[in-house]
Structure 1
Amino acid sequence: MSDKRVVMVVDMQNGVFATPRRQQQACVAKVNQLTQAADRVIFIQHEEEGGLEADSDGFALLPDLLRPDNALYVTKTACDAFYQTTLEQVLAAHEITGFVMCGCATDYCVDTTLKVGASKGYRITVAEDAHTTANRPAAEAETLIAHYNDVWRTLTVPGNPVSVKLVETIVKQWQAN
């Protein structure tokens, strides 16, 4: 499965989006473009007290998100989707060594999972227009998204650079192969 088209969708849950996120519907549409073009989709869902309890409405994925029948699901309790989860076992069982990342929140769970995953040797491409976050006290969401796209483009992981591409570019490359 290492050469297959795999998308990891992070924390696109009702409870996460209870806090307003930048261009929620546009982000969902871009995520759906990826999941429709992918061979395999992995949904990462955050679980914690305060509205993200397992099996709660807050824990559920956003209703407009497309869910392929063969999708895989991993629950996490930290910003890092690799921390004390089954993610590495799921990736190994399906022979996945690289994936496209998208989801929420850019500056927390997407960023942390991306950096840990790249350090573990996974080939990661970020869909630069398919992740979102909220406005923060220090910076607006739009600034944070642009900032993290730039950080990821220049992230130093010798021998395993992170790619940052538009959804349209990713899908076109997949269709060409």
Structure 2
Amino acid sequence: MPEQNVLIVVDMQNGVFASPRYDRSGRGERINQLIDRAGRVIFIQHAEGEMTQGSEFWQLLPELHQPESAISVTKTACDSFYRTTLDAVLKELNATRFTVCGCATDYCVDTTIKIAASKGYAVTVASDAHTTGDRTHATAQQLIGQHNEVWRELSVPGNPVMVKTTAEILADWK
């Protein structure tokens, strides 16, 4: 049986977007395109402070498509694998590869990608479907560009992280 296209959507939550994030509508539109074509969708939701599990701040953004078969994993750290069920969920799905998108590029998305690659998962990053906010020393656009470059060049022998646009990923999923 061929492996299904698994999509991990990180922290696209009301509380995360209480602060301005770069290109919310464009990123959301591309994430929805991925959601609509993925074989399985896993939503990672951060629980901390006002974003307590079940609260309005913890909820996914209302504009995101939420398939009935989607799986939700709650985390409390930047790393989506740290003390969560994500590894077990991926094993249950027989998933050795997945695509990542979401927020925040420079925190939870970055940490999740690096941990996943070092765990041996084949990771593809949707280069135009992750976002963050402006930081003290860099704009969101600069951070997104820099992280796409870093992930392309990440040294994980035998398991390079792939960085592709949403259109390229969708073409691969045909």
What is the TM-score with the length of structure 1 in the denominator?
A: 0.97
In structure 2, the partner of 1:45 is 45
Q: Does 1:108 pair with 2:107?
A: yes
Does structure 1 retain, via aligned residues, the 8 Å contact 2:3–2:94? no
In structure 1, the partner of 2:59 is 60
Consecutive unaligned residues of structure 1, counting only runs of 5 or more, are none
CA-to-aligned-CA distance 1:105-162 (integer Å, 9 cap, x gap): 0000000000000000000000000000000001000000000000000000001000
**Equivalenced residues, count:** 174
In structure 2, the partner of 1:7 is 7
Q: Does 1:146 pair with 2:145?
A: yes
Q: Show structure 1 runs of 4+ deviating over 4 A.
A: none
In structure 1, the partner of 2:129 is 130
Alpha-carbon offset, residue 17 of structure 1: 0.2
What is the TM-score with the length of structure 2 in the denominator?
A: 0.98
CA-to-aligned-CA distance 1:60-88 (integer Å, 9 cap, x gap): 00000001111111000000000011110
Does structure 2 retain, via aligned residues, the 8 Å contact 1:97–1:122? yes
Determine the C-alpha separation between the residues in 2 that align with 1:19 and 1:105: 11
Alpha-carbon offset, residue 2 of structure 1: 6.6
Determine the C-alpha separation between the residues in 2 that align with 1:54 and 1:67: 17
Aligned-pair identity in percent equals: 55
Determine the C-alpha separation between the residues in 1 that align with 2:4 and 2:148: 24
